[in-house]
Amino acid sequence: MYHNKIIKEKGMKSVKFALAPLSAMVLLSFCAQAGTQGNNDDTIIVRSSTIESTTVNELADYGNKLQVITREEIQRSGPSSDLNQVLQQYVPGLYVSLGQGAYGYGKYSFMGGRPDDTLILIDGVRLNNRLFGGIYLDTLPLIAIDRIEVLQGAQSLSFGTQAISGVINIVTKKPTSEVLSGEFSVGADTDKGRYGEGYVEKAFDNDIGKTGLMAWVTRSKSDGYQPYRDSDYNGTIGQKKRGYDVTSVGVQVTQTIADTAQLQGFYQYTQADLDMVSPNHHRQAMNKRDHHLATVSFEHFLTQDTSYSIRAHLNDWNTRYDRSRYLADGSVDIQNDDSYWGFRDYGVQAQIKSYLFGDNEFVVGTDNQWYKGKDEVMKIETDTAKANALYLQVRPDIPVLPELKPSLGVRYERFEGGQDATVWMASTKYEVNEKLNLRGQVGTAFKLPNAEQLYVKDESKQTIGDANLKAETSKNIEAGFDYLTKWENGGAWQFGATAYAREINDLITTVKVGKYDKWVNGDGEIRTKGVVLATKLNFDESWYVSGDITRNWLDTKNGATLNDIPELFTRGRIGYDAPAKQWGAELAVRYVGELKSGNDTYGHYTVFDASAYLYVDHAQQHKLTLLVENLFDRDYPAGLTSNGLEKVDNLGRPLTAELRYTYRF
């Protein structure tokens, strides 16, 4: 009886923690509405954001650097591109390594951060899972994406754990066409890849507003390419190429209500069979995946001064893993037979924004998430967790400096198991004139230990966790400027620069204890700093060139180091769009400098890509697209892998040509 009482009390505390900010929001909204009583004008005028805006987009107004990848750029990235490839091409400061091609696990480094220092969102809710802290973007089809918003720098204030170096928000397409419309595509590549996708949409008026419906389906299948050199395979090898077979179906429903509110529902199911090729006595490895992703959001503008939003999400990932290898005598060793690993993340976020005491904007929010995971491949003892957070941000108005847009905020997050973190952030943007903006931000961020780091106890992998790990914290500062000038002939020049510095405390890392790798909080501090420069020049409405360069300086202390982060990488592109964009072509190049993985180094490569498109009719309903990846067939290392004897290069994609036909109606 006493035990049950404790459980109930803990449950009530968790509920109270989650409901407290909702109560505060209700009170705040009443205050805001009371402040507008006596105004006889029933028209609601939105002073800052709109229903179609996002939190990521809004933060750009207060000193946070925002990069937006448009739908046009997504379509131009290549016929069979997955999301990782788009990010690899277009985001300054972001390094993406695709060690085994499309629909494979990618490695990321944004603004000098580690792979799990970047938080991935879809329509404002997190995709990073709490089981391993991983980022899995390989099965999210591009056809469902309207744009990608990339926010530089530490963003734990608004988004919580793992937003150390930046946030990437994937904004899904919303149905807007009032007539039935859509798009269908088919394509093929020289890796024996076949592709097909399509969507239909329609929006129609009803008694309460406008309803939008959209549905899509995609299918991608390929034999893939060989990610290791013949000389690097060890022992008997049964399969050298890494193929994939991915199918996704999804639906998006939107309902606007009297132009002041919007309800949105998104659901996607993905089924994938992905090869996972190893260079060590490899026979076969297959990752069979089922992935359900759903979000629901509601945003309402109560008055011209006050709005609130509520979002809920479900990220349900299930994988069955088959793996076998050849032994020295030629027999087969079954290492995994339909072994399961997966996770289920779900949560509710709520936020209210209101102008109080004049033109001072206040933002209050709560973020509540629950997690459940299971892994039969790596043994993790505890399979559930939860996290609750509160945050407040103030965006003051300074009448004597109308060009200055500052913000200040604080966030408290509690993670089941006694872990918690409190962070703060201050940022500002100063509009010098219509061409030049100065921006900067300073504050702290945090990363909570994931389930693997806390609870793993795997004898076969000789890895153990520590349930007493503290949250990793960091101090961050970032400053920069953006310049934009336009000319009468349709040309423009834009240039931006950002410098950052980060100091990480209680670094979560591994140390050797006997024969085991043990997760610990490292001693001392790890410092990183860097600079990102980016520019684009449109000579007129047809010709353009762009480029960016990132330089990172990485610190090593007490044996702790940050792996797989390039010291230098740069990209450039030149393109042409014919009048009315009837056809176009582009040449892109990227250089990646030295990277370190433990005591090993790799990198130092340059890769060229080329693309072209052609509308075969003046109505632009029929389109041909060509992409040539690795134009000069460069043999380059995108990562390192052990073959049981030594580290060998994990090769990037070789010369590959892809052709696609698209029909729009």
Stretch 79-98: mean pLDDT:
81
Look at residue 13 in the predicted model and tell me its pLDDT: 42
Q: Where are the alpha helices (DSSP H) in 36-168?
A: 55-59, 71-76, 83-90, 156-159
Give pTM, 2 decimals: 0.87
The angle at the Cα of 390, spanning 386 to 396, to the nearest 5 degrees, equals: 155
Residue range 5-32, pLDDT digits in tens:
323 333 434 434 444 444 444 344 434 4
| Burial readout 497-514 (b: 16 or more C-beta within 10 A, e: otherwise) | ebebbbbbbbbbbbeeee
How many CA atoms lie within 13 Å of 435's alpha carbon, on the beta-carbon side?
9
Least confident of 133-142, 374-383, 527-536, 560-569: 133-142
What local confidence, expressed as pLDDT, does residue 418 receive?
66
Q: How many whole angstroms separate alpha carbon 107 and alpha carbon 595?
A: 12
Residue range 290-308, pLDDT digits in tens: 999 999 999 999 998 999 9
Q: In the numeric block, which tokens belong to residue 351?
A: 């936020």
In the DSSP assignment, the letter for residue 16 is: H
In order, the DSSP letters of 300-320 are EE-SSSEEEEEEEEEEEEEEE
pLDDT number for residue 63: 92
Burial 99-110 (b: 16+ CB within 10 A, else e): bbbbbbbbbbbb
Beta strands in 330-468 (DSSP E): 332-356, 360-375, 384-395, 404-415, 419-431, 436-447, 457-458, 463-464
> Which residue, 445, 428, 435, is CA-closest to 480?
428
Q: Please tell me the distance from the alpha carbon of residue 183 to that of residue 202, in angstroms, as a whole number.
A: 12
* 401 vs 31: CA distance, rounded Å: 27
- In this structure, are residues 271 and 237 in contact, taking their beta carbons and an 8 Å threshold? no
pLDDT of 552-600, one tens digit each?
A: 998 866 656 678 899 999 999 999 999 999 999 999 999 999 998 888 8
Q: Strand, coil or helix: what is 135?
A: coil
Is residue 80 very low, low, confident or very high in pLDDT (cuts 50, 70, 90)? low
pLDDT above 90 as % of the chain: 59
> What's the rounded Cα separation, in Å, for the pair 532 and 528?
13
pLDDT the model gives residue 34: 42
Average pLDDT taken over every residue of the chain: 86
Instruction: State what percent of residues in the chain have pLDDT above 70.
Output: 88
pLDDT at residue 314 greater than cutoff 80: yes
Q: Write down the pLDDT at residue 420.
A: 84
Q: pLDDT, tens digit, for every residue of 328-366?
A: 888 999 999 999 988 888 999 999 999 998 899 999 999
Half-sphere exposure of residue 168: CA atoms within 13 angstroms, side-chain side: 29
H/E element, 292: strand 282-301
Look at 418 and 623; give whichever has higher pLDDT. Answer: 623
- For residue 229, the SS3 value is coil
pLDDT tens digits, 162-217: 899 999 999 998 998 999 999 999 999 998 999 999 999 999 999 899 999 999 99
- Average pLDDT of the segment spanning 244-257: 94
Q: Which residue has the higher pLDDT, 512 or 655?
A: 655
**Could you give the C-alpha distances from 214 to 198, 264, 388, in angstroms and in order?**
11, 12, 33
